[in-house]
Amino acid sequence: MKRLPFYSLFMLLLAACSSEPNQDLVLNDLGYFETQGVNVLAYSNLFNGGFNDEKNAGIEIIQHGVRNVQGGAVRLSNTPEQWDLVPEIPSRTVDSVTNSIETVLRYKDYDFESRVVVSAKGKGVEISVYLDKPLPKAVEGSAGFNLEFLPSKYWGKTYMVDGRINRFSRYVAGKSIVRPNSEKLKQYKGYVTYDDRGTGKFIDPLPLETGRSMLFAPEDPEHKVKITSNDADIMLFDGRMLAQNGWFVVRSLLPAEKTGKVLTWTVEPNAIPGWIREPNIGFSQVGYIPSQPKVSVIELDKNDKPLQKASIYKVDEDGNSNEVFSNDLALWGDYYKYRYAKFDFSSVKTPGIYYIQYGNFKTNNFIIENNVYDWMTDATSDVWVPIHMNHMFVSEAYRVWHGEPFKEGYLQAPPNTDHFDLHGQGPTTDTKYKPLETIPGLNIGGFFDAGDFDIETGSNISVVENFVQAWEYFKPLRDQTFVDEKQRYVELHRSDGTPDILQFIEHGTMNLVAQAEIIGHMAQTLSNSVLHNYNHLGDAASITDGLPYNPKLEPYEVALDGKSSGVKDDMWAFTSRNPSLDLRAAAMFAATSRALKGYNDNLSARALKQSKRLLKESTELLANIPEDKRGRWGRSADISTNLQLFISTEEQQYIDKFQELLWSALDDNLSHNLLIALQAIPHLDKTYKEKLRPYIVKYKENLEELENDNPYGVPIGLGNWAGGGSIISFGTTICFANSHFPEIIDKSQIYKAANWLFGCHPYHNYSLVAAVGAARPKAVFYGNNRADFSFIPGNVAPGLLFRKPDHFENYDDWPFLWGQNEGTINGNTRYLIFGSAFKDLVK
């Protein structure tokens, strides 16, 4: 080892003795750059090939616990939108010796490849772009390096460009130019985009500022970031000019006819010296009943020193607070980025208003009372579900949520059509209808899928099944919605003498039976034909003009009889046959035929007829398809279909087939199939229940393993969609298991899922259910009103989205990330089953 010069040794000793910690970024064992308070990720999360730019990938900066920068990559647009092309990442190399990460980015459409090298450089990183070959002519002037900043963290704050001062706008600001479509680089996947309205033009935002040095939020140490470049101009754009989900984009164009290192940026995210994240004190914002377990999970920065105790304070009628309970914390340990401790206050049972005190941190209040869960499903059933009824005019007091959508119906999707929502029409129509011919009778019933306005057939099948299960097991008689199918009119908070859930079953079945009868099988989806309509925000009735397209008319011309127009805005039916989907529909039709008997006997009989037909036809078709090609619903749908047909018809053949398939399915995937098995208990003899018992014992062991897996004791999802749906299914399964096997599955287990949904989870402690009786529900969701930064009451968020390698997040000031904020019709109706089962057991 070389001897250090005296001066260098002196400086090292001085640094070691300094009270200020070293804030230089270093490459850690997880493959990202880190200092206390700042993480810089370089392609730990890759761009998605399905929806392309989901604002979850590339170079990302997590600054003081919040991912406020993302999307760092070579892109082909100033302000990329969701369906813009994204680069493939064929290789990523982490070099701990040079403290750098090198990633290859490739656009195969243009045979264009670049290398991005991110290296630690003092308190920041150096980002360099390398080209081994000059830019292809097709991307000259379009290819550039982008980095995107979360608007909600910067609006209202200032920025400086080469010393010039300005302020980020709360709403989109700036100027744009309009260019012919021919000048736009073709980077969409063949979809009609900017010229949907026949203008032949597209919008190109102009930069807000241009310079060599940019400083964002100098007054805010939590979000201050500096970007400099010595070899290229840096431009600042407002991506919201083109799309409400756009971010602020910092961009430099790559030079033409050059190779080697063609661009270098230095990015310095500020790190507050000695920053320690505030504890996230997880608890149920809805509250607790006196008798239940009450455990707060406290999420701590690993640099934080856990306190020994926490306390419960009770608020009296005069507004005074008094400590009524104190207890030692139980340190659980580390889970990904943070450290966790548990605070058990189960012994606090007196009804009242309380809060938790942990050191200097005080939570908002919560209630202990026997009625806290009584309203947990009301907003979902009273508001969210009826708002999502398609082909209906929906009003609430002074507000119209939407007019009657899609009066013109649905056209047959042409063969070999790719769809932007991951559907597609195969080489034939699989129907008697010609391409772009109107399929009569489909514009009836059904539910919007989620934050968009299409009818996803698979989701709608699940929805009707969910309603039927809730009806048959719990008989909810709640009547707070007026539904008139003849007038196609819905009014919220107005009773009509019929249980709402029966009307929801009827409404969903009407569309699905129409598909089966008219098409001959189930459609994949009834959806938009052009992207401009698909990403529509606003009244669903304004997506189309309500008139069928007439190719004989000029664009936007209306026929003299007022019955057609020259607007290509019609919805399409994607009708390629999927026998697994038909099999699922057969199960649903069997179930709905029972629920509708005595209420709508005609629809009930039609549903049962279609169930038997689709079961026979899909079984024959599936016999020629290998099991591994049938999709994830194949065997479960077959099990469920036979059970539902047995319950409806009591024919022995169906229950024999059910039991033939069930036991191996439980052996293969107990958690996924156990709920179906439990739902069969009331319809079979005691021998069946006893045969199921060993699986319940095994399930109990799985629950115990979850307690060791994570501090919350629930199955936490780590995919590209947060795991709230799995936790709802988990909670429902526990409810049914406890109902039938209380001696094995303890009642205390049922509260874990509810606690997670209502605030006891990572990142923050807000309830994930909109507007339910919680002290602090989430404020914004990804619904069809997301551009208003609002919510639809009763929406259930997917929840905590995992960002590799160790970060959970759920934005509550930016609704546009669907993987953490979008409630779906399937997920929200599964919540109704869970809520019904949960309330039943609680009482």
**Euclidean distance between the first and the last CA atom of the chain, given in angstroms as a whole number:** 73
Q: Which two tokens stand for residue 316?
A: 């009296």
CA distance linking residue 214 with residue 671, whole number of Å: 52
In order, the DSSP letters of 657-710 are HHHHHHHHHHHH-HHHHHHHHHHTGGGS-HHHHHHHHHHHHHHHHHHHHHHHHS
Classify residue 649 by burial, with Cβ atoms within 10 Å: 0-12, 13-18, 19+. Answer: middle
Decide if 195 is catalytic. Answer: no
Cβ pair 46, 90 in contact under 8 A? no
Q: Are 112 and 185 in contact (CB under 8 A)?
A: no
d(CA 384, CA 796) in angstroms, rounded, equals: 10
Cα-Cα-Cα-Cα dihedral sign, residues 649, 730, 720, 828:
positive
Are 481 and 491 in contact by the 8 Å Cβ rule? The answer is: yes
Q: Which of 54, 204, 570, 822 is catalytic?
A: 822
567: nearest Cα among 282, 235, 197: 197
Burial 139-172 (b: 16+ CB within 10 A, else e): beebbbbbbbbbbbbbbeeebbbeeeeeebbeee
Q: What is the DSSP string of 572-618?
A: EEE----HHHHHHHHHHHHHHHHHHTTTSHHHHHHHHHHHHHHHHHH
Q: Which burial class, exposed, middle or buried, applies to 385 when counting CB atoms under 10 A from its CB (0-12, 13-18, 19+)?
A: buried
- Write down the residue that tokens 């935002």 correspond to: 205
Known catalytic residue: 813?
yes
CA distances to 409, 526, 528, 565, 570 from 534, in Å: 16, 11, 5, 20, 11
Residue type for position 2: K
Kindly name the residue from 651, 705, 813, 840 that is annotated as catalytic. 813
**519 secondary structure, DSSP code:** I
Phi, psi of 571 (to 5 degrees): -80, 155
Active site residues: 813, 822
